[in-house]
Structure 1
């Protein structure tokens, strides 16, 4: 059986092509997960997911506000997993970019 390969994906090119804040672009699928890139700027609505959500800060800085807990601050290269069911919202005072690793069916605005 011959396996099909795909060319490398440029994260920088994907970021440059994002239309604006809170717009996502799918970079890759691996096993049962999808890798997405998004620009954050401003406050995203409070929400939760029925699955864990991984944030990797690519550039800039952001905080993830968590219901009933202190916010988590992320800078370039920082990674944080929001456990399933935890109400949260990402906030970026200046533009920041993140990689998200989640299930393909994960809804951007939560469940």
Structure 2
């Protein structure tokens, strides 16, 4: 058994991840951040869960851009090829589930 307290993970470098599990080509990581992440497209599906803090999640589809406010317990998913960006409002812990090696 592995027990993790995400709130205790503060590496001091934005978006550094703590590996929770790897299985069948999928990674599960806790990330700490206080900085925006760049616009990007994953090479597979992604699940993004806010554990602590607040995050604005931006999504682009063609020329349309949407933003959603996320708080603890909120979950969003992205399909392969979805362009998106996460912008925290202060420090945040997030759980990310994605294809191993994805950006």
Q: TM-score band (shorter)? A: 0.7 to 0.9
Structure with bigger strand share is 2
Task: Summarize deviations over 1:17-43 as a string: whole Å, max 9, x none.
Answer: x23211112111234421101012222
TM-score (norm: length of structure 1): 0.79
> For residues 83 and 72 of structure 1, do their structure 2 counterparts lie closer, same or farther at Cα, with a shift above 3 Å needed?
farther
> In 2, Cα distance between the equivalents of 1:77 and 1:97?
11
Q: Structure 1: which 5+ runs fail to align?
A: 1-6
Greater CA radius of gyration, 1 or 2?
A: 1
Q: Could you tell me which of 10, 14, 21 is aligned with 1:28?
A: 21
- Once the two structures are TM-superposed, the CA of residue 100 in structure 1 deviates from its matched residue by 0.5
Residue 6 of structure 2: aligned partner: 12
Contact map agreement 1:50 1:84 (CA 8 A) in 2: yes
Number of aligned positions between the proteins: 100
Task: Summarize deviations over 1:58-83 as a string: whole Å, max 9, x none.
Answer: 00010111122311221101111012
Q: CA RMSD in A?
A: 1.8
Residue 94 of structure 1: aligned partner: 90
Q: Which has the higher contact order (CA 8 A, sep 6+)?
A: 2
Q: Could you tell me which of 50, 59, 79 is aligned with 2:52?
A: 59
